[in-house]
Structures are given as structure tokens and as C-alpha cells.
Amino acid sequence: MENGVRAQASRARQQAILQAALSLFLNNGFGATTLEQILERSGASVGSFYHHFQGKVEVAAALYLEILDSYQSAFLRELRRHREARAGIEGTVRQHLRWTGHNQELAAYLTHCREPEVAAASEARAQNLNRAFFGQTGAWLAEHLRQGLLRRLSPHLYHALWIGPADEFTRLWLLGSRPRDVKQLARAEDVLASAAWNNLRAPSPRRVRP
Amino acid sequence: MENGVRAQASRARQQAILQAALSLFLNNGFGATTLEQILERSGASVGSFYHHFQGKVEVAAALYLEILDSYQSAFLRELRRHREARAGIEGTVRQHLRWTGHNQELAAYLTHCREPEVAAASEARAQNLNRAFFGQTGAWLAEHLRQGLLRRLSPHLYHALWIGPADEFTRLWLLGSRPRDVKQLARAEDVLASAAWNNLRAPSPRRVRP
Amino acid sequence: MENGVRAQASRARQQAILQAALSLFLNNGFGATTLEQILERSGASVGSFYHHFQGKVEVAAALYLEILDSYQSAFLRELRRHREARAGIEGTVRQHLRWTGHNQELAAYLTHCREPEVAAASEARAQNLNRAFFGQTGAWLAEHLRQGLLRRLSPHLYHALWIGPADEFTRLWLLGSRPRDVKQLARAEDVLASAAWNNLRAPSPRRVRP
Amino acid sequence: MENGVRAQASRARQQAILQAALSLFLNNGFGATTLEQILERSGASVGSFYHHFQGKVEVAAALYLEILDSYQSAFLRELRRHREARAGIEGTVRQHLRWTGHNQELAAYLTHCREPEVAAASEARAQNLNRAFFGQTGAWLAEHLRQGLLRRLSPHLYHALWIGPADEFTRLWLLGSRPRDVKQLARAEDVLASAAWNNLRAPSPRRVRP
DNA sequence: AATGAATGAGCCTTCATTCAT
DNA sequence: GATGAATGAAGGCTCATTCAT
């Protein structure tokens, strides 16, 4: 039982380090963040830090992967709640906006902290996550495609038309000066959701005939 | 005449430094690029470098501003070639894709090299550029809005629906493995251009069921 | 009985640590060997290590003393087997070569691992061993000296002429690339043994021209 | 001309660093010597140090090679002064003892500072030196061998019998407590020189016949 | 305009060791 | 006897920048 207590304390320390690193990376960037700052803010000692992590980049990589996984899981959870094509596509766009509003720091990290050093350290594992993610969304779409409800497009174009507008919007919103107004996201939901649907749905037969 | 020759040589050196820095920043990131690497690749000496630039960040900032200006100028040149709303909006989307294809390194720099240190050094001047840019596009749009041809939306949403899909698409394309296939951009032009137009144009009365 | 079993396990652990340390010190040097490496190779935990030893240097010192003692004991055992001067001197030279062949790692440690840190920790005890050793060899030689069979020389010179050639030979042999050929040692025995004897014996009256 | 002055100052700094490092390595060992100590004693700054050397090991390696070259050059110079086999062999043994007396620190470095880290860094270049050195001594010996004045032995044995005793002697002498008595070396010259000659010369025909 | 030696603050990291459990 | 998380002093080294020439 004592072990349990220790393991828990150990995990708490890890979380404290990750948390401290996250906000520092966001404010100062990865390169400008010093280990000393991370230690100071997390209350860890040098040795303790290196007992839990291999180094600074590993922390950044771990952070990126954790956040990416969290975003993708939420996205897929939302997608699976829907049977209908339109509901799924619009729902995930709304979900994207809501997740960004609730996890501003995480979203900012996902978007901005992509320095080559860190990217290299997380690349392999990130690709695994992405492969799984696109596999799942692809499977969900497959049926609706078969029914002719959606346009046939290359995967990149699909992604661009689906999430592109919302992603661009949240990107700009995150760049804006703080404190950010979460209501702006809510107000944009309808427009961005229906834009995604209109971008992806198969052209209605009515439009063809004059 | 001697002065002219010398000034020219001097400018060549500056360009060599900028060029060397650009590719290094792109491959290794700003933080991981050392002055020594820049000097080696450009053939400049320490003293020569500091004769031409104030320091490393100034080079990165100058690079960013130069590229941003180049992109925006090309965008505006294209926009001004068109009188009609649809032609302008679709034309600039195509222009975005073509510019990216022709200036892959510059486009990558614009998208990825946004470290806080550099951002801070270029922010003030970048905002000037952006203000001018959005002023110009806004002026172009104003007339079409007045005529009721376009939806009325907040600026951020406007941008997201206009360039969002194309930007997302080029972002993914730039992340792809090299050598990149420029034809993919050409093939996407039609879809992304008409998506932008459909996203922005005022809803046609025809579509409403009587 | 439990105590006996435990004590035995404990000693096994100690031996495992010494063994692991020995090969690491030989391959990487004392300074470049980390405790972590020793622990990994021996299967001990940090705490366990410090239960058995005071620290890293103590391990190195213990190792040195143990090996030195082993070498000297074997040397003396051989020496005492002989009554005659020549047999003793030649026998120990051969013994030196054989011991080196059978204990290559130990011999290498004795020759090369003499870093000041470790030397300081083992110095006092090493001098005790050496004093005893030289006392014994001196006692053995004394009688033959008295009989005029050996030259009268300073102790250092004595040692240099006796073991010098063989020691130099094994030193070079140990530096050679592995796997080392033990037969080279065997083939050198005759030459080195008789060289030692010729170097040390009193000049024969025969050689002098009448 | 100004360049000449600067280059000279630069070389002076390098020498100061090498000198400082040498005595520190000798007293404390390579591992226990810190860069800070080297800087303090040589008056160089961190940056200056790294401007001239790649790192601590490179200094140690450079030192080793410089000293080895110096020793071998002196050895060969002495050897070439002699035509006769006996004079050459005895002369170089005496030279070995004299060089050790005049360059105690260098000799100690050559003998003791052989940590794997440093050895690895100097190995390739050291082998070049050794190859050249043994090539030269071999060439010198060749003629005398042809004339039947010397025994036929493997190179290692040759070296062991020639320099072994003197080397062992100086090794012990260097280990002795300071200040060392140089006269001890002088007094050993005769014995060690003639021992080398007796070890190497072809057996006199007289000895075979009773 | 150019050179390159010199600077030194500050970085990430290593590692032997301690100690509560 | 054993465990391993925590410690923190100390280390080697990087690198942008300065400056005398």
C-alpha cells in the first residue's frame, strides 16, 4: 500500500512538470524556456526532473502527444454519437470549436509549438496517432460515401473543406489578444458547421437542372 | 563607380546571409540554427555578419517581413485584376495555391517559423503590413457587399471561409514528404476556389423552396 | 541457517558488483564508468550498492587490492618452490607470463587503472602489501646474495632487470588487439627468463680474459 | 605584419592552455581536472579555450601526441649518431634515462595518463607516430642483424629486452616521492645500458664451447 | 568592409549520494 | 537487506556578441 502512495506522489510530480512546461513553452516558446524555469515553477529538483524525463525535448514531445490524443479522442467520441452524415460533420466542427474554447492552452500548443527539435522527437508516435485517427474517420465516412451523400475527394481536400474553415478561425482566435472571448467561438458555430456540410455534401440534383 | 561596385557586393553578401539563414531556419528551426552555421553557409565572417545585421533575430524578422510582404503583394495584385466578386475571390484562392507552389520554402517559413522571440521582433512591422493588407482587401470587398452579393460576416469568419480551406490544404501539402508534387495543388484549384465562393456569396433566392 | 543462506546471497551480490565494475572500469576507465552502469550490469539497486560499499572509489580500490594481492601471492608461491637462485628467478618470470595469460583482465586492471582518485584510496593498503611482498622477495634473495651468486644492486635496479623485460612484454601484449594470442606469451618464456637470470647473476669469472 | 603578431599571441595562448592542462592532468588526473581549473591557471576564458581546442579530451590527446613525438625524435636523433650496434643500443638507453630526467613531467604524462577517453582520441595519430618510429629503428637495426651481431627475435621481444629494464626503472623512479633525485638515473645508466646490449647481442661463440 | 580572437553568461545534463519507506 | 525517488553541486560546453586590428 505504501507503494501506491509513492507511485501516486511520483505521478503528481510528473504532472506538475508537464503542467509547468506547458505554460512556459506557450509563453516563451520551447527554445527560450530554460530548465531552470520549469524546475522553479514545478517545484522539482534537477535530479528529480531527469529521474522522470529524459530531457527537455521529451517533455515537449510527451506534451504534444498527450494533447493530440486528447483532441482526437474527443473528436472521435463526438463523431460516433451520430449516424447521419450531416449531423456528424456539423457536430465535429462544433466540437472542434468547443474543445478549443475549453482547452485554449492545449489548442495553442498543438498549433504553435512545432519546432523541428520537438517535432522530430514526437514524429513517429504522432504518425501512429494520426494513422489511427484518419482510419477511424475514414471508416465513419465510408458508408455515407457509398450512399452518394458526400462528394468524392482526395483525403487532403476532404480535410481542408471539413475542418479548414474552423481551424483557420480558431487559429486566428488563438492569436488574438487575451483574455479571449469564448462567445466568439459559439457565435461562429452555425456558420462554420454548415459551411463544412455544404463543402462536403454531394451536389443536389436540383441544382443541375435549370 | 567603385562605390557602386562595392555597394553591390555588399548587397550580395546580405542576400547570401538571408538565403543561408532561410534554409537553415526551415530545416532546423530558428533556435537550433547557430550563427556559425549561417556564416559557414553564406561565406561571411562574424564581423561581416554584424556589419550587415544587428543579430540573429533581426535576420529572422527581416526574412519574415520580406516574405509576408511578397505574399500579400501578390495576393493584392491578383485581387485588383478582377472587378467581379466571384472572379476576385476565386482568383485569389488560385493565386494562394500557385504562390505556394512557386515559393515552397517561403511559404513554409511563413507557416512554421513563428517562435515568440522572432515574432516579438517582427510584430510591430508585421501589424503595419497586415493593417494595410486587410485595409486593401476590405476596400475591394466593400462594393460587392453593398450590392448584396456577399454574406455579411465578421472579418475573422470571412477570412476563415475564404482562405481557410486553401490554407489548410497547403499546410498539409507543405508537411508532406519531399519532393512535393506541385500538380496536387493545380488539381485542387477548382474545388477550393468554388468552395470559397460558395462559402462567401449571399444565399441565392433560387435555392429557397417556394 | 537462514543467516547462512542470506550471508551467502549477500556475498554473491558483492561479487556481482565487483565483477561488473571490473569489466566496466577496464573498458571505459574509472572516470567514464557510471554507477548506473555498474548497477545495471550487476543487477543491484542503488540502495543495495551503498549497503555493500561506501562508494565508487571504494569498489575500484577494493578491486585493485584484491588483484594485487592475488598476483603477489602467486608470485611468492612460485618463488618459494625453488631453492636455487636461477630456478627461482626464471620461475617467477615464467609465472608472471603465465599469470598474465590466465588473468588478462586482472592484469590489464593492475597495469592501466591507476587514476589518482583510486590510487589515493588504495595507497595506504597497497603500500602494506608491497612492503610485505618486497620483504619476502628480499628475504629469499638474501641468501643467494650472500653466496655471491647475484650482483649487488639497488632494489629498483634489481626489479627493473628482473621483471622489467617481462613486464614490458606483457604490457605490449595486453595493448595488442583482442583476442590475444596466449601462445605468444609461452614462446617468450625462455628468452625472458634467461634474460632475467643473465641480468642478475654475478659475472662469471670464466668470462674474464686471463 | 599585424597578423604575425596576432598569430603569435594566439599560439602563446594555446601553449599556456597546454601547459596548464599538463600539470593539472599530472597532479589530479584527467578526470578530476576541471575545465575551470585549466582556465584559471592558463588565464584563458571559456570561449577562448573552445576557440583553440575542441574540448578537454582534445587537449589531453594533443599533449600526449606532442610529448610522444618529442620523446621519439630525441630517441632517433641519438640512434642516428651511432654506427656501431653496441654504441647505438647503449646510447639510446642512456638517452631514455636522460630524457626522463630532463622532462619528468612529460615522461610521467606519457606513462600514466592513459585513460580510455584520451587514448581513443589520440589512438589513430599515435599509431602513425609509432609506425614511423618503429620503421626507423627497424631500419637502423637491419644492417647489424644482417651482420649477425644481434639476436633474431620478434619485435615485441626486441623492445622488451632493449628498453624494458630502463623503462621499468624510470617508471618506478617517477612513482617515487618528490623531489626526485636525478642522480639515481645517472647511476643506473651503466647497468641498464650494458644489460640492454647483453640482452640483444648475438651469443658469443666462446660461450658455446667449453 | 572585413577579420577572427576573445568574452562570459547561461545552458542542459550527469552522477554520486542520501534517505524515507 | 533492499528499494528507488529525490537531491543538488558541479561539470563540460554552446553561442551570440564585442572589439581591436
Higher-pLDDT residue of C187 and B29 is C187
**Any CB–CB contact under 8 A between B173 and chain A?**
yes
Q: How far apart are CA B167 and CA A161, in angstroms?
A: 10
Q: C9 beta carbon < 7 A from strand F? A: yes
Segment C149-157 mean pLDDT: 91
Is B46's CB less than 7 Å from nucleic acid strand F? yes
Chain-chain contact of A165 with B166 (C-beta, under 8 angstroms): no
pLDDT band at A13 (very low <50, low <70, confident <90, very high): confident
Per-residue pLDDT, D9: 67
To the nearest whole angstrom, how far is the Cα of B160 from the nearest Cα of chain A? 5
Cβ distance of C168 and D173 shorter than 8 Å = no
Residue nearest to nucleotide E6 (CA to C1'): D48
CA distance A166 to chain B (A): 7
Query: What's the pLDDT score for residue C196?
Result: 98
Question: In the prediction, which pLDDT does A150 show?
Answer: 95
Is B48 in the A-facing interface, judged by CB distances under 8 Å? Answer: no
In this predicted model, what pLDDT tens digit does every residue of C172-205 receive, in sequence order?
Answer: 899 887 789 999 999 999 999 999 999 999 987 6
Chain B window 41-60: residues with CB closer than 7 Å to nucleic chain E are 44-48, 50-52
CB of A4 lies under 7 Å from some atom of strand F: no
pLDDT at D3: 53
Q: Chain C to chain D, count of Cβ pairs less than 8 Å apart?
A: 108
Give chain B positions within 8 Å (CB) of A196.
none
Across B81-95, B113-127, C15-29, C196-210, the highest mean pLDDT is recorded for B81-95
Mean pLDDT within B132-141: 91
Instruction: Tell me what pLDDT residue B63 has.
Output: 93
The answer to whether the CB atoms of A156 and B172 lie below 8 A apart is yes
pLDDT for res C12: 85
Dist. CA B150–CA B147, nearest whole Å: 8
pLDDT at A206: 53
Contact A156 B166 (CB under 8 A): no
- Could you give the maximum distance between any two Cα atoms of chain A, in Å? 78
**Does residue A47 surpass a pLDDT of 70?**
yes
> What does the pLDDT look like over C22-67, one tens digit per residue?
989 888 888 889 999 999 999 999 999 999 999 999 999 999 999 9
For A70, D85, D189, the CA distances from D98, given in Å and listed in that order, are 76, 20, 9
pLDDT at A173: 93
The CA–C1' separation of B43 and E13, in angstroms, is: 33
> Which of residues D155 and C209 earns the better pLDDT score?
D155
The pLDDT, as a whole number, for residue D208 is 46
Whether nucleic acid strand F comes within 7 Å of the CB of C179, the answer is no
Structure confidence at residue D7 (pLDDT): 65
Nearest 5°: the CA angle C104, C105, C108 is: 85
Q: Which residues of B touch A122 (CB under 8 A)?
A: none
Residues present in chain D in total: 210
Chain C: residue whose CA lies nearest to D31: C31
Ranges of each domain in chain A: 1-53, 55-200
Q: What is the pLDDT of residue D209?
A: 44
Q: Are A185 and A173 in contact (CB under 8 A)?
A: yes
Q: pLDDT value at position A2? A: 45
Q: What is the pLDDT of residues C101-121, one digit of tens each?
A: 999 989 988 887 777 788 888
Task: Report how far residue C38's alpha carbon sits from residue B34's, in angstroms, rounded to the nearest whole number.
Answer: 37
| Residue B118 pLDDT level (bands cut at 50, 70, 90) | confident
CA closest to C1' of F4 belongs to: C46
- Residues in A closer than 8 angstroms to B166, CB to CB, are 160, 164
pTM of the prediction? Answer: 0.81
Cβ-based neighbour number of residue A15 at 10 Å: 11
* CA distance to partner chain D, nearest, from residue C74 (Å): 21
Q: Which of D26, D157, D183, D200 has the most C C-beta neighbours within 10 Å, making it the best mutation to test the interface with C?
A: D157
Instruction: Give residue C206's pLDDT.
Output: 54
Q: What is the CATH number of domain D55-200?
A: 1.10.357.10
SS3 (DSSP) at B149: coil
* Least trusted range by pLDDT, from A203-207, B77-81, C136-140: A203-207
Burial of A32 from C-beta contacts in 10 A (0-12 / 13-18 / 19+):
middle
Nearest to C198 among D28, D114, D198 (CB): D198
Inter-chain contact C167–D168, Cβ cutoff 8 Å? Answer: yes
Nearest nucleotide to D53, CA against C1' atoms: F13
Q: In chain A, whose CA is at the least distance from the CA of B197? A: A199
Nearest to A114 by CA among B159, B30, B130: B30
A9 touches strand E (CB under 7 A): no
Residue C35 contacts strand E, CB under 7 A: yes
Averaged confidence pLDDT in chain A = 88
Inter-chain contact D168–C168, Cβ cutoff 8 Å? yes
Residues 48-107 of A with CB under 7 A from strand F: 48, 50-52
Weakest-pLDDT range from A115-119, C89-93, C144-148:
A115-119
* pLDDT tens, residue by residue, A165-182: 999 999 989 988 778 999
Find the Å distance, CA of residue D6 to C1' of nucleotide F20.
Answer: 11
Local confidence band at B195 (pLDDT 50, 70, 90 cut-offs)? very high
Distance from CA of D93 to the nearest CA of C (A): 13
What class, spelled out in words, does domain C1-53 have in CATH? mainly alpha
| Residues near B32 by beta carbon (within 8 Å), at least 6 away in sequence | A31, A115, A116, A117
> Does residue B147 have a pLDDT over 60?
yes
Q: How far is residue C176's CA from residue C184's CA, in Å, rounded to a whole number?
A: 11
- Per residue of chain D (210 residues), what is the pLDDT tens digit? 445 565 666 778 889 999 999 989 888 888 889 999 999 999 999 999 999 999 999 999 999 999 999 999 999 999 999 999 999 999 999 999 999 999 998 998 888 777 888 888 888 899 899 989 989 999 999 999 999 999 999 888 999 999 999 999 999 899 887 789 999 999 999 999 999 999 999 987 654 444
Which amino acid makes up residue B184?
A: Q
Mean pLDDT of chain B: 89
Of the listed ranges A105-109, C8-12, C133-137, the least confidently predicted one is C8-12
Rounded Cα distance, B62 and B58, in Å: 6
* CB-CB under 8 Å, A172 with B168: no
Task: State the pLDDT at residue B113.
Answer: 72
